[in-house]
């Protein structure tokens, strides 16, 4: 029979901020737990209406995967949760409201009884001067823009006769030798080999790829043994230079400044650490030294029991008091436990701490090579690469999405990656761009008239 609808004031409203691994999985867990509770409403606010599978982003950049293979529609994944595509503008902790805005709805104020921060992190651009000149590698747009840019450099170099400009176009620098930096680097080096056959005037040894790491070794997240294997595998590739203990001092247009050298490169990719979402900066909450919200082991804020934080924006202590790392595998598991703890809090039951021992860590080096430490067992080469791929296939939500992945991966085994750029210009922008190119060319030829 039709149960009476509870009045709006008596509804417990749970608002989750952020549609990444942490936010989506927390909302997913809660929609299951509260499935029969009409007096509980769950809202999820995020800038994009998709969950980005970041571990697959490298392959989108190299064209092995289509964009849709690494973005999962939040609406189709969550059934009962109300999804709002909007940006979080302000949070009033005393009034317990969140102000969100989007082009479609302009501004809207959301009341909450429980608020979950799952706003993730951004690339840290404050460490190195001129970081805004480098490409970041965090979002789907980052991957597409970088791909377009790399292909554009290859096209330019193919027709460029000036040796210096050609060298600059064919020099690629990745700053940061952590897992993400190394994976971008590995995929990039493999991509170069695959597309080079279409550029008859570019020799492979003209392409220079530099990986710069400030620390003493690359991949501090994994064992020294696996990290040095990775460095060996990558260094064997043509044109590859890996430098450790090489902090970048600054970036200027087309140049990376090291202590003893200036590298001229028109492609500079920054992957040197992250900072928590700036939305948190103004909130008067306890933070760790990096600005992440400090929560207890149940992921609840000590000062305000209605606030919770998970994923990259949270500092969650492990049983030894150390914060858990910024990894998707942690974010997803934290999310499940935070969902259960909020359910317990609403019901007045005891909460449980989040305790998780990393099952393993994996990285792809491109060319069907990888490294992995699974259950403490170090793996390398094809096996590690295959395990990584299979793992991400299994954790990818929704069967249609997995089928899509398998099809695209299978095709990529037999076909070369597509070389076409993704045209992001409108017709008007395209005309403006070519008018500008023509103007510059006219100015150049007026300054250097051809001898008669």
- Judged by the rule CB under 6 A, the positions of this chain that interact with ligand FAD are 18-23, 45-48, 54-55, 57, 87-88, 118-121, 137-138, 180, 277, 279, 311-313, 326-329, 331
Minimum CB distance to ligand FAD smaller for 118 or for 211: 118
Q: In 3D, which of 88, 45, 116, 50 has the Cα closest to residue 334?
A: 116
Minimum CB distance to ligand FAD smaller for 90 or for 238: 90
Closest-approach residue to ligand FAD (CB): 20
Minimum CB distance to ligand FAD smaller for 21 or for 185: 21
Distance, CA of 343 to CA of 351 (rounded, Å):
9
Any bridge partners for residue 135, and if so which?
A: 269
Q: Give the distance, in angstroms, between the CA of residue 179 and the centroid of all CA atoms in the same chain.
A: 12
> What is the closest distance, in whole angstroms, from the C-beta atom of residue 180 to ligand FAD in the complex?
5
Minimum CB distance to ligand FAD smaller for 311 or for 366: 311
Minimum CB distance to ligand FAD smaller for 48 or for 73: 48
Residues in the chain: 452
> What is the closest distance, in whole angstroms, from the C-beta atom of residue 402 to ligand FAD in the complex?
17
> What is the closest distance, in whole angstroms, from the C-beta atom of residue 413 to ligand FAD in the complex?
21
Give the three-state DSSP class for 432: helix
Phi, psi of 260 (to 5 degrees): -115, 5
> What is the closest distance, in whole angstroms, from the C-beta atom of residue 452 to ligand FAD in the complex?
54
Phi, psi of 174 (to 5 degrees): -110, 125
> What is the closest distance, in whole angstroms, from the C-beta atom of residue 448 to ligand FAD in the complex?
43
Q: In 3D, which of 169, 173, 159, 137 has the Cα closest to residue 62?
A: 137
Q: In 3D, which of 124, 62, 430 has the Cα closest to residue 275?
A: 124
Alpha helices for 112-252 (secondary structure H): 140-159, 163-169, 179-196, 224-235
Minimum CB distance to ligand FAD smaller for 266 or for 279: 279
Instruction: Write the DSSP symbol of residue 317.
Output: B
> What is the closest distance, in whole angstroms, from the C-beta atom of residue 378 to ligand FAD in the complex?
17
48 contacts 85 by C-beta, under 8 angstroms:
yes
Minimum CB distance to ligand FAD smaller for 12 or for 358: 358
> What is the closest distance, in whole angstroms, from the C-beta atom of residue 439 to ligand FAD in the complex?
37
């Amino acid at each position: 029979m039709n149960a009476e609808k509870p009045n709006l004031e008596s509804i417990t409203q749970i608002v989750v901020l952020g549609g990444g691994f942490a936010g989506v999985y927390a909302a997913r867990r809660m929609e299951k737990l509260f499935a029969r509770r009409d007096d509980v409403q769950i809202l999820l606010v995020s800038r994009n209406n998709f969950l980005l599978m970041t571990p697959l982003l490298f392959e989108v950049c190299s064209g092995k995967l289509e964009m849709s293979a690494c973005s999962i529609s939040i609406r189709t994944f969550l059934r009962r949760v109300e999804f709002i595509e909007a940006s979080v503008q302000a949070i009033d902790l005393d009034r317990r409201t969140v102000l969100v805005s989007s082009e479609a709805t302009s501004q809207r104020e959301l009341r909450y009884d429980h608020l979950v921060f799952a706003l993730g992190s951004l690339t840290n651009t404050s460490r190195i001067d001129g970081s805004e000149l480098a490409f970041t590698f965090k979002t789907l747009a980052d991957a597409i823009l970088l791909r377009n840019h790399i292909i554009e450099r290859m096209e330019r170099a193919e027709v460029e006769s000036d040796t210096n400009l050609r060298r600059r176009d064919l020099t690629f620098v990745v700053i940061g030798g952590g897992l993400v930096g190394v994976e971008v680097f590995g995929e990039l080096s493999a991509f170069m080999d695959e597309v080079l056959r279409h550029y008859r005037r570019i020799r492979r040894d003209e392409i220079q790829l530099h990986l710069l790491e400030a620390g003493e070794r690359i991949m501090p997240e994994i064992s020294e043994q696996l990290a040095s294997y990775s460095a060996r595998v990558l260094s064997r590739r043509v044109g590859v230079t890996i430098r450790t203990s090489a902090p970048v001092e600054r970036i200027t247009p087309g140049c990376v400044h090291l202590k003893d050298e200036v590298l001229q490169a028109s492609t500079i990719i920054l992957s040197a650490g992250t900072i928590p979402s700036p939305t948190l900066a103004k909130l008067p909450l306890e933070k760790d030294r990096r600005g992440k919200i400090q929560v207890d082991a149940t992921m609840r804020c000590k000062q305000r029991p209605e606030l919770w934080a998970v994923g990259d924006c949270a500092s969650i202590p492990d049983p030894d008091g150390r914060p858990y790392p910024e990894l998707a595998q942690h974010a997803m598991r934290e999310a499940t436990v935070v969902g259960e703890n909020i359910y317990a809090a609403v019901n007045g039951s005891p909460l449980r701490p989040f305790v998780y021992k990393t099952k393993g860590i994996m990285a792809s080096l491109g060319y069907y090579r990888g490294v992995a430490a699974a259950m403490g067992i170090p793996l390398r080469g094809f096996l590690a690469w295959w395990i990584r791929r299979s793992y991400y296939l299994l954790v990818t939500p929704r069967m249609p999405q997995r089928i899509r992945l398998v099809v695209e991966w299978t095709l990529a085994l037999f076909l070369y990656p597509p070389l076409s750029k993704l045209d992001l210009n409108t017709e008007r922008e395209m005309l403006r761009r070519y008018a500008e190119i023509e103007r510059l060319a006219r100015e150049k030829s007026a300054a250097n008239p051809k001898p008669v």
